[in-house]
Amino acid sequence: MADQTDETKGILKRISETPVWESVFRTGIPRNRRQRMMVILNNVFLHLHPVRLPKHGIKLKYTWCMGGLSFFIFLALTVTGILLMFYYRPTVEYAYGDIIDLKEQVPLGIMREIHRWGAHLMVIAVWLHMFRVFMTGAYKSPREFNWMVGVVLLVLTMLLSFTGYLLPWDQLAIWAITVGSNMAGATPLVGTSGPGSSLLAIGDVNFVTPSSDARFALIGGRFIGEAALLRFYVLHCIGLPFVIMIFMIVHFWRVRKDGGISSPL
């Protein structure tokens, strides 16, 4: 190698021998078995994977690839979501107009479409992933805990989608949220229209009122308005993504720690 003259080397070859390249890609092009193992071990992203898998674990008919796709769609939603945040202002005055502008005035006007259809797709992908896990009995010992984490992820996925629903501030949005948030008002004990809330009172002083109940905590007011929009915006863009990422880290970690893809004994 070293005694080859510069003229006989191709340009790609020369680049791949520069110290910069070699410092980034330590294993080189994975040609032999050892390099193929090292490329997984040395790369922080690929390191989610094991080095070797039982053969059924890479078959589409076993995995349906739905778990991976859920994660990928989540990433796509994160990217498009960040892009949307550059134009969208979460106030009653501007929100609706900004959504129209995102379509009419901003180049690449399908960003909102990708975000919305992606959200639908993610819910479906998560369902199908759980369905596959159920049908292959992959929740059984030792993966019980990871199934529970998965249920939490499902709930968070739906909550993320639900909080995003309000942001366009159109009729569809506020009435879906009206129905949803009134359910919070029906929570036993801590919702004004929930059972037992009138028992939490001393004499005439009622502790659970429309301005101090579970519904209020969610929408920040007695009506769906400015405060609700802002709360849902913060939950949708920061709060819930933060929580779901923590659970995803645990989920992926435990997939590996519990023995990787489920296999017959």
Partner 1 sequence: MESIKHFINIISAPYVMFPLILAVFFFIFPPTDRLLAIHKKLRLYKLWTNGGGIALFSSLIIIFAFGLTDSNFRRIVTKPDNVPIAGLIFLVVFFLWWSMKQAWENDERMAQGQGPREAEDAKEKVLVWPDLVYIELIALILCTVLLIVWSIFLKAPLEEPANPTVSPNPSKAPWYFLGLQEMLVYFDPWIAGVLFPTVIIIGMMAIPFLDTNEKGCGYYSFRERKMAVSIFMFFWLVLWVFLILVGTFLRGPNWNFFGPFEPWDISKLEALTNVNLSEIIYMIWLKQRLPQNIFLREIWGFLLIFFYFGAAPLLLAKTFLKNLYARLGSLRYSLFTFLLLMAVSLPIKMILRWVFNIKYIVAIPEFFFNI
Partner 2 sequence: MGENGQPQNTAQTDPVVSKPVTRAGMEIASPPEGSADTAAVDRRSFIKWLAVGWSAFAAVAAGYGALVMRFFFPNVLFEPKQSFRAGFPEEYEMDKVSERFKGKHGVWIIRDSEKIYALSTVCTHLGCTPNWLENDNKFKCPCHGSGFYKTGINFEGPAPRPLERFKVSLDDGGQIVVDKSKKFQQEKGEWSDPESYLVV
**Contacting partner 2 within 176-195 (CB under 8 A):** 178-179, 181-183, 185, 193
Closer CB to partner 2, residue 30 or residue 220?
A: 220
Residues 6+ apart with CB under 8 A from 109: 102, 103
Closer CB to partner 1, residue 23 or residue 171?
A: 171
Closer CB to partner 1, residue 16 or residue 161?
A: 161
Contact 260, 53 (CB under 8 A): yes
Whose CA is closest to 201, among 187, 183, 189, 210? 189
Closer CB to partner 1, residue 155 or residue 245?
A: 155
217 binds, among partner 2, partner 1, none (CB under 5 to 8 A by kind): partner 2
Cα 125 versus chain centre, distance: 11
69 binds partner 1 (CB under 8 A): yes
Q: Is 126 helix (H, G, I), strand (E, B) or coil?
A: helix
| 48-67 residues near partner 1, rule: CB under 8 A | 49-62, 64-65
Residues 6+ apart with CB under 8 A from 78: 241
Spatial separation of the C-alpha atoms in residues 186 and 181, rounded to whole Å? 9
Least CB distance to partner 2 at residue 75 (A): 30
174 binds partner 1 (CB under 8 A): yes
Closer CB to partner 2, residue 214 or residue 244?
A: 214
Least CB distance to partner 2 at residue 220 (A): 7
Spatial separation of the C-alpha atoms in residues 187 and 196, rounded to whole Å? 9
| 116-175 residues near partner 2, rule: CB under 8 A | 175
Q: Which residue has the tokens 């008919």?
A: 61
Closer CB to partner 1, residue 9 or residue 49?
A: 49
Spatial separation of the C-alpha atoms in residues 254 and 189, rounded to whole Å? 37
DSSP, res 59: -
Q: Which residue has the tokens 């920061």?
A: 238
Which member of 28, 30, 220, 260 binds partner 2 (CB under 8 A)? 220
223 binds partner 2 (CB under 8 A): yes
Spatial separation of the C-alpha atoms in residues 49 and 44, rounded to whole Å? 10
| 109-138 residues near partner 1, rule: CB under 8 A | 110, 112-114, 116-118, 120-121, 123-124, 128, 131-132, 134-138
Q: Is 206 helix (H, G, I), strand (E, B) or coil?
A: strand
Q: Which residues bind partner 2 (CB under 8 A)?
A: 175, 178-179, 181-183, 185, 193, 211-212, 216-217, 220-223, 225-226
